[in-house]
Structure formats: structure tokens, C-alpha cells
Amino acid sequence: MSVVLIIFCVLSAVTLGSAFLTIFTKNPIHSAIYLVICFFSIAGHYLLFNAQFLAIVHVIVYSGAIMILFLFTVMLMNLNKEDEVHKPRIQRWAAAIFFVLMCVVLMLIFRQSKPIVGPYDTTGEDYQSIKVLGKVLLNEYMVPFEFASVLLLTAMIGTVLLSKKEKK
């Protein structure tokens, strides 16, 4: 086996293992740590694809900013078993039905999609270059960037509102 294949298999095992531990761990802090490990292993996959810029941005954005935001949210909410409100059965059933419907829709979309057949046209531009990436992201994808900033602002406001203590 080649070295790249061994590294890929190890990174895949770490990614899958830490992803499952993220979901099945009861402690939210441990879950966040496993998620950071998963993000770092995904960055390793990007390095295997020779996408160094994407790997570094992934580490900075997800492992840095998003996980710090997540940890602050968990710590501000002060999740305790005694304070946890149990959801009514109808909400759990509605969530399960919504999940199944979303899975069916995604499966139908993937089933209807067709692979791209034919020659792959290249422009000759190096998209690893930060200058080219900046032009593409801030010219062609300006609207999704703005939507992402509004989404993050809404998430921060929601975090502050959730963390406020109710007056008794």
C-alpha cells in the first residue's frame, strides 16, 4: 500500500470515530472536543487533495471560531439535567417525521442527478492562489457571503437571548 492510502485510511477512521463520538457523547464539552478532532482530520483530507488554503481556512474558521462560539453557547446555557425540560411526545414525533421526509427528499434528489460526462474544461487559473480566490469569492459569490454574515449575526443574537436569565 502507498503512504497516501495509509494516511487516507487513518484520517478516515479518525474522522468517522470522532464524528460518532460527537453524536453519542452525553457531555457537551466532550462532544465539542471530539468535533474539533473531526474538523482537524477533515483538514488533513484537504491536505491530501493538495488544497492547503482550504485546509488552513477550515482549521481557522471551524476549529477556531465556530467551536469557540459553540463552547460559549454551551457554557452560557448551563445545561443541567435538573433544569432540562422534557419535550412533549408530539414534538419528538414531528421531528422524526421531518427527518424522514428530509432523507427521502435528499435520496430522490441524488437519484435524479446525473454525473457529468465529457471533457473537463479548465481555465488554467490556479485557484490555490489567494488573489484568484479573493476575486472569485468577493465578485461572483458576494451574495452568499452576505447571507452567511447575516446568519452568523442572527446566531449571535440568538445566543445572547438564550443565555439571558429569566426574572422570577
List, in sequence order, the alpha helices (H) in the chain. 3-24, 28-48, 52-58, 67-77, 89-112, 130-135, 142-163
pLDDT at 11: 95
> Do 82 and 17 belong to one domain?
yes
pLDDT at 82: 56
> Do 167 and 91 belong to one domain?
no
CA atoms within 13 A on the CB side of 10: 10
| Average pLDDT in the chain | 81
- For residue 53, is it within any domain? yes
Q: What is the dihedral of CA 140, 43, 125, 149, to 10 degrees?
A: 10
Show the domain range for 8: 1-110
Q: Which of 14-28, 39-53, 96-110, 135-149 has the lowest mean pLDDT?
A: 135-149
